[in-house]
Amino acid sequence: MELQRLKREFLEYLEVEKGRSLKTVANYERYLNRFLGESGVLFPGDITDETVRRFRLWLNRQSDGKGGTLKKKTQNYYLIALRAFLKYLARRSIPSLPPERIELAKSPERSLDLISADELGRLLKAPQGSDLKSLRDRALLELLFSTGMRVSELCSLNRDLDLGRDELSIRGKGEKVRVVFLSSAAKNTVKTYLAKRSDMDEALFVRLGRGVPKEGSLRLTPRSVERIVKHYAVKAGITRKVTPHIIRHSFATDLLENGADLRSVQALLGHANIATTQVYTHVTDKHLREVHKAFHNRRCG
């Protein structure tokens, strides 16, 4: 059976049986098309160690469009898609390269951009005033830090939240639903903001001021939220770059520094894999050093 047909069936399997989002399926299709196009393979048996080796070499030499080459992390997206495709072939007992033969490129350890607790406090207090824009922005910042949600998740929220409860369900990556929790500050700022709204748009966070369309949705986009966060970071006197994702990092590190375990943080962040959450182990490592210093080998003191 030809690989093009098998690829199509694999993508349908991802969408229907595995429940992957259309965006994820489109990404897998793009990665596999690149592999099939560059390697020239036509049948499952044509995929060998050598064809994969040549493709990896080609990937490693590709430009990133910024004067450099593709990052190892980006190269791994292609390899993850290929490995998933080979697992699918193996599942159907179609002879090809065993998926375990695909090893991911070793990428440098990810470092976190963080802001201090003092900087975070200044950021959350930066929107001053009782006008609608200030109330919106204060609610937006408080909600980001209270829940640790992704900026895309924040933008998808509607105004019909049940603010009588301390939690809400959100739909995250891969259409997975999880519960996030609201602090008193977040609930109060959202209530105050909504009480001042006079429009009928269903979105929780909407565009205001000049350039707002007379028709269509007023919903803020992730890019707009990024600009809002950047504006208040500058206003708060924070010199480093601040994004909604850095607030998400602050949420996670705050939990860990106060004793939360990594598995709980994984659930709150909506990470499918604990390995993604382990980027925060620098926080727990610091705690372990303090435990070791305080309690180990005290008999020698």
Q: Which residues contact 189 (CB under 8 A, 6 or more apart)?
A: 135, 138, 139, 142, 143
Query: DSSP class of residue 162?
Result: -
Could you write out the DSSP letters of every residue in 197-249?
Answer: --S--SBSSB--STT--SSS--BPPHHHHHHHHHHHHHHTT--S---HHHHHH
Query: What is the Cβ-side half-sphere exposure of residue 274, based on CA atoms within 13 angstroms?
Result: 5
Q: How far is CA 198 from the centre of its chain?
A: 33
Greatest CA separation for the chain? 75
Which residues carry out catalysis? 150, 173, 245, 248, 271, 280
Could you write out the DSSP letters of every residue in 83-108?
Answer: HHHHHHHHHTT--S--GGG-PPPPPP
The rounded radius of gyration (Å) of the Cα atoms in the chain is: 24
Name the 3-class secondary structure at 61.
Answer: coil
